[in-house]
Amino acid sequence: MIIVTGAAGFIGSCLVGRLNADGFNDVVVVDNFSVEKKLANLKGKRLREYVDRNEFFAWLDEHHEQVEFVFHLGARTDTAEQDKAIFDLLNLNYSKQMWQACVRYQLPLVYASSAATYGSGTLGYSDDEVLLPLLRPLNPYGDSKNDFDNWAVQQAEKPFFWAGLKFFNVYGPNEYHKGRMASVIFHTFQQVQRTGSMELFRSHRPDFADGEQKRDFIYVRDLVDVCIFLMHHRRNSGIYNLGTGEARTFLDLALTTFAALGKTADIRFKDTPEDIRDTYQYFTQADMSKLRGIGYARPFTRLEDGITEYVRDFLLPGSYL
């Protein structure tokens, strides 16, 4: 059996779909299944069992001998949330329990970290673990991910294989439920279909023109490919960046979305909301040399190709991966 936490969410459900496509049908999905709008992400997938996240560790105590691999992707991911207690509960302490269970039962573990750990990027975007204690995230979400990364590397007892993946800006199918936290591609599509135009955040820094803020956008299919690679690789434990290694502007993203829809671009700008303005990342770009160095050789999807597939094959028909 393969465990996927956060399985009803965006990335988790895409990973479950890929596991099914590769012939893995004994997938145990773990989540808070009371959030009904996420359940469509799992419809039609071949699953062994649904386990509520609050009951998972008791379930694992009983079934651990049948488990082959654990993907821990479940987390609270709202970068605007300011309640540290929520992140301590769901991101930090739950992840510690997961780690300790994987140590106890010697289960390999891949877990989701985040590029939010890099904060304003003053130290760059290297996934060298020596830098972890020096990173200063800009919000409680980033703090929770960095706190766990630091805790994990300091543990004397570790799973025989483990990897923490610092996800950069992920986009792609199955994010219909994410609301404000969905990708800019999703919001562009929705706005263009509704109004014919798109509003991007205005720059509030003199060194960036409006729309020229840059992020490392990674297609969810590429992210899942790396997860599958690590499941088979099971060597070289550690923290790894997971982006493309190429920063692109939000203007690039919006223009490509208009092109995929066959529409003339109409892009306008609005102030960045005040609750995230001071913690907004203006540039991210993953250093991917560490993952490449352990043998991951597949190219990452070009932004133009990923957006075009996402829009035409998923957003327009309203389908799921």
- Tell whether residue 64 is among the known ligand binding residues: no
- Tell whether residue 32 is among the known ligand binding residues: yes
- Tell whether residue 113 is among the known ligand binding residues: no
- CA gap 92, 113 in Å, rounded: 11
- CA gap 280, 208 in Å, rounded: 13
- Tell whether residue 38 is among the known ligand binding residues: yes
- Tell whether residue 265 is among the known ligand binding residues: no
Distances (CA, A) of 291 to 44, 153, 158, 230, 243: 33, 17, 20, 10, 10
- Tell whether residue 145 is among the known ligand binding residues: yes
- Residue among 169, 203, 205 nearest 187 (CA): 169
- Tell whether residue 303 is among the known ligand binding residues: no
Strand partners, 199: 268
Angle of CA points 228, 14, 172, to nearest 5°: 115
- Tell whether residue 204 is among the known ligand binding residues: yes
Q: Is 105 a catalytic residue?
A: no
Catalytic residue among 45, 96, 158, 178: 178
Strand partners, 110: 71, 163
CB neighbour list of residue 82: distance below 8 Å, 6 or more residues apart: 139, 140
- Tell whether residue 180 is among the known ligand binding residues: yes
Catalytic residue among 94, 118, 141, 219: 141
Q: Is 141 a catalytic residue?
A: yes
- Tell whether residue 74 is among the known ligand binding residues: yes
Residue with tokens 């483990």: 162
Binding site for substrate: which residues? 169, 180, 187, 201-204, 215, 280
Q: Which amino acids are annotated catalytic?
A: 141, 178
Q: What are the binding residues for NADP(+)?
A: 10-11, 31-32, 38, 53, 73-77, 145, 170, 178
Which amino acids are annotated as binding site, given as ranges? 10-11, 31-32, 38, 53, 73-77, 145, 169-170, 178, 180, 187, 201-204, 215, 280
